[in-house]
């Protein structure tokens, strides 16, 4: 009987090795996927915003957004609205992945992007007016090989 157990042991090792390899390949594919990378850009943007680091969040904007918002104006407005008006020092946020969109346009005047990813971000504040949430649709598209943040102006 002892011999039968030893005979199946190499088969079990092969099956476990193949299973582990498939899990590893699947994990690597996910980490390299545009869906994962774009969500990480959105999370980085709002983490900078959460920390009041608006200069670094501005750096993650797509150049089309930077044309609309100069760096100092962006920083001044973000501080003025979120901290000044809302009376909130920071916020919590959640990112919900919505969809991959083909031929999306930031505005009627802009050229369409071949591919963009749409996310819904919910920011939760506790400020001088109590607890409230702010929902925003956020888009991510490539610019010179880097994923960058855009908002919808249609």
pLDDT in tens, 79-118: 887 777 777 777 899 999 879 999 999 999 889 999 999 9
Please give the helix or strand (H or E) that residue 140 lies within, else none.
strand 130-143
pLDDT of res. 128: 79
pLDDT of res. 3: 55
Q: Into which CATH architecture does domain 33-150 fall?
A: Roll (3.10)
Please state, in angstroms and rounded to a whole number, the distance separating the CA atoms of residues 58 and 63: 10
The domains of the chain are located at: 33-150
Q: Which residue, 95, 99, 58, 100, is CA-closest to 79?
A: 58
Query: Against a cut of 0.85, is the pTM above it?
Result: no
pLDDT of res. 71: 95
pLDDT of res. 88: 77
pLDDT of res. 26: 62
Regions of the chain with pLDDT less than 50: none
Q: Which residue, 93, 99, 94, is CA-closest to 139?
A: 99
């Amino acid at each position: 009987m002892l011999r039968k157990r030893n005979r199946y042991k190499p088969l079990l090792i092969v099956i476990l090795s193949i299973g582990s390899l498939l899990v590893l390949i699947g994990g690597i594919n996910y980490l390299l996927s545009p869906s994962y990378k774009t969500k990480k850009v959105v999370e980085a943007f709002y983490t900078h915003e959460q920390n009041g680091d608006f200069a670094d969040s501005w750096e993650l904007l797509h150049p089309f957004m930077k044309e609309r918002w100069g760096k100092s104006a962006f920083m001044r407005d973000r501080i003025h609205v979120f901290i000044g008006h809302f009376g909130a020092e920071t916020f919590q946020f959640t990112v919900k992945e919505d969809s991959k969109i083909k031929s999306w346009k930031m505005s009627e005047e802009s050229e369409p992007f071949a591919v963009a990813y749409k996310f819904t971000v919910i920011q939760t504040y506790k400020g001088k007016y109590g607890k409230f949430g702010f929902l925003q649709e956020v888009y991510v598209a490539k610019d010179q090989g880097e994923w960058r943040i855009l908002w919808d102006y249609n």
